[in-house]
Amino acid sequence: QRQRERRNGAGMASWNGISVPPLVGGGFPIAALQLCSVYYVGALAVHALIPHFARTITPVSKAEARRTHRAPADLRRQILRESFLSLGPIAVKAGVFCAVELIGTRGWGLLYDGPLLRAGASVPAKALAVAGTVLALDFLHDTWFYFTHLLMHKNRWLLANVHHLHHQSHVPTPFSGYSLHVVEAMIVFLDEILVCFLFPIHVNVHRLYHLYTTLIHIGGHASYELHPLVPSLEQLLYIAWRGDSVSRELNTVLYHNMHHQYPSKNFSLYFTHWDRALETIKPGYEDEIGRIKKEQAVRAEGGGGGGLRRYYSVLVACMGSTLALSVLAYLAAYNALVWVL
């Protein structure tokens, strides 16, 4: 009890006896705990929760379609290997979060704390500010990811000694998202530090955004098509404009899955413009995503699927549950540590 009181006296919030850790400022242990909660709960949900409730999911490759005939022991070994390998990149990203905290406290970059906007700013103005920041971060993150990813394929040493580790997952699972060499993790996550010097970002927005990108990496390796509910702001805006049609400019699960099947193609993360401009997009992608969307509709309408509307509703519910479960896992793990320590 005295330990908990000392922790609360040090600035820790408490709600109905539950210790609530700070979003930013807790150092490496808090950052690592946040990332583990988001990554492992998110990957487990995408691997098991969504396929269980959304039974009409559409595999994005023939190899994935054959997975139902794959020995469960082989799949378990792959998931265990990927889960273990993900610990290194998670530690790297937690270290990046600590570096960003240091940048903020020393006042070196354009990070800021306190009110999101000036006093008296309306809620819509704050929402627009956050949306603008997210769109800018998405574009910068996608650009960084494309060119560093391309570098790791063009440089023979990096491909043979670093990036090959990720491509051991020929048929990806959600746990493949951070199944990376730690050197690759350092390269990929470096942009999270660089953006602190490019434009003003609130420290909480920076942390939440880069926790959320963890889910993007998980979803990109889902092995079944999530479109149109690929969880990005750009996709949400596109849905509001064009419904569930496929955008020529935005990524899908199939898009990155094709990269695992054809490693010299489809290097981008959010958008397709760099692949199109530099002619690294896989020919036939549009035809294949069109085929998958048709199969998705047939599966949703038949076999008790209840139609696309019900299928999309189940996906949204599962995604919302995944976020909630990640937060609950984080709070549970944190409070267990507080109790023990």
Please state, in angstroms and rounded to a whole number, the distance separating the CA atoms of residues 157 and 155: 6
pLDDT value, residue 7: 45
For the stretch 74-86, pLDDT in tens is 889 999 999 999 9
What distances in angstroms separate CA 175 from CA 142, 203, 267, one per listed residue?
21, 28, 19
Listing DSSP states for 126-138 in one string gives HHHHHHHHHHHHH
Helix or strand holding residue 111 (H, E): strand 111-112
pLDDT value, residue 15: 64
Please state, in angstroms and rounded to a whole number, the distance separating the CA atoms of residues 4 and 21: 12
- pTM of this structure: 0.91
From its phi and psi, is residue 302 left (phi > 0), alpha (psi between -120 and 50) or beta?
A: beta
pLDDT value, residue 13: 65
How high is the mean pLDDT in each 10-residue block of the chain (341 residues)?
44 67 91 96 93 83 56 87 97 98 94 82 88 96 97 96 94 94 97 96 95 93 89 91 92 94 94 96 94 88 72 89 93 86 71
Residue type, 339: W
The two three-digit tokens of residue 185, written as one number: 């993790």
Closest Cα partner for 222 from 170, 181, 176?
176
**Please, are residues 99 and 52 in contact by the beta-carbon 8 Å criterion?**
no
| Backbone CA torsion sign across 234, 94, 97, 268 | negative
pLDDT value, residue 178: 97
| Unique residue bearing structure tokens 């979060």 | 97
pLDDT value, residue 340: 81
Buried b / exposed e across 195-229, counting CB within 10 Å, b at 16+?
bbeeeebbbebbbbbbbbbbbbbbbbbbbbbbbbb
pLDDT value, residue 63: 56
Strands (DSSP E) contained in 177-287 are 201-202
**Please, are residues 59 and 223 in contact by the beta-carbon 8 Å criterion?**
yes
